[in-house]
A and B are shown apart, each in its own frame.
Chain A
């Protein structure tokens, strides 16, 4: 239909039945992108031309799967892109790549954190003295950082790989350090050994502008309002996440002061001043608090749901009489709600926290609040309501001693600060020392990694193919580049970039078949190979195979 209607140079092709005007010589990938289709690519970089190695950009043309990045449009072409068959092929390509991918996207501590704090990043920032950035990382992910830094049962530390060697990194204490630092509770006296510091001079990290708690950015206002009943851990956490999504949040609570069960914690464990400061931060973020509101006689759920676009019950553990007066269906002393959507049987009323299920730990209660916030947010933005998806992560599993030693090589030796529940918190030198014990076993590319991105988008199962894992290898270069061959998907971009730039040595493929690897020629180092285009290669590496060691230190990646 299209071949005869136009001249030689421009014509129309069909992608999934949609016509798209193209020019001769253009690729199918380019045409699809014109239509706004997000065909995944890993090995495609315009400058390099089609490398046709990753094959995740497959489309179906004339009954055959072909890589769209290397296929030129032809008049009359009919392309299938977003079909289940094509998606399955792309997913398989991703899964095959993961079956030979050595490395964790997220460190175990990050994966174990119910709130998903990027701990290694925060620790790198502390270690480098970039405390403001560390604060941004903390405050950008955690509500009530100062509280968690004192009370969290720190599942992160149980998973810490450093713990397989001596002691886990003291993550909770470091959280507390960051929140104390940004709230001005850390004495500025102590310096880090080796640090020359002129008091009052803004030359080094310790003496940057006076610290202040950093409130993360919120998305533009949506115009939707949410009423949260209850100002305990779940309610406050939900308030934090919903506010950041741009919704107008009001937290109504029975007591005079917000905090719910946190108010019952002894002063020695959680000073009231710290809690007050954290709640003040939430207010500063935009959360409105209404004290002295009790559900029941005067205030009914029904009335609230008329006023707000959504209602979230986070009233904490119910006593029997209270349950009866709530005005929502209750079963077995718990508010009835769908665990997958947090929805109660009443239209726009959601419920979370100890009111709906038994929650033992603080951070889990806050995790529940976060999940409920996601459900409410999706409800308000007319998306399918569900709990947040786990961030995709390739999982390397247990390390053998040799692998562990490679990680240890870049960390400082020595045991951790003795875990003290009631101690006064870490001083700055102590914090820097503790942070430098981190093995940085996360992937510095996580969040920017194209492979991870599409794995998440395509629902890839990183463990579909059980296979013997290759050993983890890490080659830190003096230039600051880290090369981790196990994460290399052999896309060939860096090889091509060095060729284009006429690097004296460059990089090349070594070997053949399954054992192919990227390396510098003649047994030289990666650094030798990357004398001109290291930065470009790191920037275009679709995974975390080539990264800068200090990537992410200077600016927080969290949003």
Chain B
């Protein structure tokens, strides 16, 4: 086809613009076209490039693309308006992203957003302040659920936010921004370990959000300063998000020691105190510093010893004790980007076995066969043919971890049977469930393991092309996979000669553009092909007709992360864990109203109660454990009385939930179940692709009813209509999104009908639905005026030493007074 577009734009009278925008420099467009290509599948990468460059999609730029490429105007407009990340008007200088994930929702994200809007002066119905400084944006989930509620301003992530903390957050941002904004990277390649002492620090996204990057750099500086003989080691997620930033000091021959919740200064202090200074000049300066500190009594930093964490302490052993690490093998120990370390731990050995039958340069292949984890002596190294690989996965009983639990081997076998010479394998990293961040963690922490898993899948089904599809909200995951792919390519392990054999395998990355529905296989394929992410009817299944009409298997990140382990340890070792129908382990993101949130991997069959109460330490003192939301927007709420339900695909389905991708959001008695149902429905409704009637309109009509209930406008037959419609939307929708969207409604209606009935009568028992509640000051008030000072709408007159009174007409129910009152004198009714 000619380079010129067959869809030359007709010359038409220009449509009048609302207001003249500054002329757009189109050179960047041409440059991007040269980089991304001219075929339709370049649509999304091109738009992403424009979005990053211009901050929005200027129409001239879109028209330019249509003229210069094969992409049609209809396609580009359709795609640009489908995905959340694309904006069509210029935005403010800084983007303020408010996470609306489940954990953030139950911890008050809506109040934080309201406070931010008020503080930044962004009027309702607008998203940018009049000065054009800030644009506020809701994000489905930033994947930092254990820090909920989370706000990201520019590149800075703030956790544990609250409405009254908003001014502080913005101050912090200004300060950080004023400091020049040159950010130190945490991603440069670090030299491999030398077996000396290590200080390990987890550098996943949420660790970084809690300041681990500062500590990392402080530690690096301290070592540089002192010349101490210790390696500062970046590791992946440490799982204990509730204790981060956390470091581990590992010295040969000594038990590791952990420090949690460290401040940078304390971390520095730790290096200074604990490790020998090298060189006389360093030692001298150390003495001098100590003397000076002593003299000035300036050493007010929190002594690091206070942060020391005893791994034998009950709360730590409860969190870690039940866990089994398969997908998260070596968690907290290895540098995500260190290939040698991965290989030394047995990495790529499984893939090497699968490639035994292929001709290779003995050297490369041999090297990977050597890899063997320390302490394992019996690892099988016999060659494996693709059918044997599939048989092992079959016997292991591995089921897809993406939600539905489809047997992985069956999918592979179907794809293997297809005669097409072209096949594809895709790693589905479009983890869109609000309240789930397992896949992000795995991508960030174990990029090589996923490369190996995807490569094994490719060899097993006979594919030579593989794609990592990762949502763009996970920049660090993209960065690490990209870096890992590059390193593999540089070492000649990928590309024309996989591990040096004659098996070609090309792996690339496609970034999502913000659409939950793209987690659905057929929508994901549409998205890679450069179209609107709209699912299509199955069959035919992607394993038969997938990407570009070719057989394609799509496996979830976690599924692929388990593959190398299974081949290394055998099917039986994997199947030894779990229940009759659900084998192995499952990674969960534990968040919400729970004391110890984090990332856990536990054997299937563990009960929800064990997870919530033992691992998670239960709800906050004074609160009552009410329910667990399992499976995100497609899942359901399991009430506390059914908490002994074991985690496996079938048991969860029986109680109305689904395994989903593994978000576990714990709800205490402060959660309103009608509000939770409404929250999830709002999410799915917002994320529906809009193709089929049941999902597009049906979920909206369900939401209408829930909106009425939450605002006290419920009508008598609303509950029966909601039930009826929920069943019909579930039965009639085209794809999994619509079919499962009613689950949160159905389960809450089933287990918490009394709350629905209370809402019908205009009462919200949990005191959450703002239209149904009022704030009062009780006799406990001492007249300290704190509430009055913080009230953003001046609904509380300042009356020192006299009991305060809230003007109900002015009150916006932002909950600030409740949060700031030191005497628990605010009552919600």
Contact yes or no, A521 B73, CB < 8 A: yes
Contact yes or no, B8 A504, CB < 8 A: yes
Residue of B nearest to A529 (CB): B74
B10 at the interface (CB under 8 A from A): yes
Contact yes or no, B75 A89, CB < 8 A: no
A71 at the interface (CB under 8 A from B): yes
Residues of B within 8 A of A64 (CB): 731
Among the stretches A48-56, A293-301, A388-396, A441-449, the one at the interface with B is A48-56
Partner of B698, one of A96, A519, A528: A96
Partner of B59, one of A65, A66, A523: A523
Residue of B nearest to A516 (CB): B690
**Cβ of A35 to closest chain B Cβ, rounded Å:** 22
Encoded as 1 (CB less than 8 Å from any A CB) or 0, chain B from 677 to 697 comes to 000000001111111111011
Residues of B within 8 A of A506 (CB): 72-74
B6 at the interface (CB under 8 A from A): yes
Given contacts A502-B6, A508-B77, A528-B10, contact A66 B697 (CB under 8 A): no
Residues of A within 8 A of B76 (CB): 521-522
Given contacts A495-B74, A502-B6, A524-B12, contact A509 B694 (CB under 8 A): no
- Residues of B72-128 contacting chain A, CB below 8 A: 72-78, 81-83
Contact yes or no, A70 B701, CB < 8 A: no
Residue of A nearest to B730 (CB): A65
Partner of B537, one of A56, A67, A489, A519: A67
Residues of A within 8 A of B66 (CB): 522
B490 at the interface (CB under 8 A from A): no
A311 at the interface (CB under 8 A from B): no
Residue of B nearest to A514 (CB): B700
Query: B74, B82, B704, B731 — which one has the most chain A CB atoms within 10 A of its CB?
Result: B74
**Cβ of A450 to closest chain B Cβ, rounded Å:** 14
- Residues of A519-553 contacting chain B, CB below 8 A: 519, 521-525, 528-529, 531
Partner of A531, one of B10, B83, B537, B685: B10
**Cβ of B739 to closest chain A Cβ, rounded Å:** 9
A515 at the interface (CB under 8 A from B): yes
**Cβ of B648 to closest chain A Cβ, rounded Å:** 23
Given contacts A498-B74, A510-B77, A512-B689, contact A55 B694 (CB under 8 A): yes
Residues of B within 8 A of A511 (CB): 81-82, 690
**Cβ of B745 to closest chain A Cβ, rounded Å:** 15
Contact yes or no, B10 A52, CB < 8 A: no
Given contacts A52-B537, A509-B532, A522-B62, contact A96 B693 (CB under 8 A): yes
- Residues of A52-78 contacting chain B, CB below 8 A: 52-56, 58, 64-67, 70-72
B422 at the interface (CB under 8 A from A): no
B51 at the interface (CB under 8 A from A): no
Residues of B within 8 A of A227 (CB): none
Q: How large is the interface on A (under 10, 10 to 19, 20 to 34, 35 or more residues)?
A: 35 or more
B732 at the interface (CB under 8 A from A): yes
B728 at the interface (CB under 8 A from A): yes
Residues of B within 8 A of A467 (CB): 700-701, 704
A218 at the interface (CB under 8 A from B): no
Residues of A within 8 A of B74 (CB): 495, 498-499, 503, 505-508, 521, 529
A97 at the interface (CB under 8 A from B): yes
Contact yes or no, A58 B73, CB < 8 A: no
Contact yes or no, A53 B692, CB < 8 A: yes
Contact yes or no, A512 B700, CB < 8 A: no
Encoded as 1 (CB less than 8 Å from any B CB) or 0, chain A from 25 to 57 comes to 000000000000000000000000010111110
Complex-state Cα separation, A503 to B734, whole angstroms = 29
**Cβ of B76 to closest chain A Cβ, rounded Å:** 7
Residue of B nearest to A531 (CB): B10
**Cβ of B67 to closest chain A Cβ, rounded Å:** 11
Partner of A505, one of B10, B688, B696, B728: B10
Complex-state Cα separation, A507 to B732, whole angstroms = 27
**Cβ of B45 to closest chain A Cβ, rounded Å:** 19
Contact yes or no, B537 A70, CB < 8 A: yes
Contact yes or no, A514 B697, CB < 8 A: yes
Residues of B within 8 A of A507 (CB): 74
Given contacts A52-B734, A513-B685, contact A505 B9 (CB under 8 A): yes
Given contacts A93-B694, A511-B690, A513-B685, contact A55 B734 (CB under 8 A): yes
A99 at the interface (CB under 8 A from B): yes
A100 at the interface (CB under 8 A from B): yes
A490 at the interface (CB under 8 A from B): yes
B275 at the interface (CB under 8 A from A): no
B612 at the interface (CB under 8 A from A): no
Residues of B within 8 A of A92 (CB): 694, 698, 725, 728, 732
B548 at the interface (CB under 8 A from A): no
Residues of B within 8 A of A502 (CB): 6-7
Partner of A513, one of B12, B693, B696, B732: B696
Residue of A nearest to B517 (CB): A512
Residues of A within 8 A of B728 (CB): 88-89, 92
Contact yes or no, B697 A52, CB < 8 A: no
- Contacts A/B (CB < 8 Å), 24 sampled: A52-B692, A53-B691, A54-B692, A55-B732, A55-B734, A58-B732, A96-B694, A96-B697, A99-B697, A465-B701, A465-B704, A498-B74, A504-B9, A506-B74, A509-B82, A512-B83, A512-B690, A513-B685, A514-B685, A514-B690, A514-B700, A521-B74, A523-B15, A528-B10
Known: A466-B704, A502-B7, A521-B78. 19 other contacts (CB 8 A): A53-B693, A55-B694, A55-B733, A72-B539, A92-B732, A490-B696, A504-B9, A504-B10, A505-B10, A505-B73, A507-B74, A508-B74, A510-B78, A511-B81, A513-B687, A521-B73, A524-B73, A528-B10, A531-B10
The 8 A-B residue pairs whose C-beta atoms are closest, nearest first, are A521-B77, A516-B690, A508-B74, A521-B73, A96-B697, A508-B78, A506-B74, A513-B688
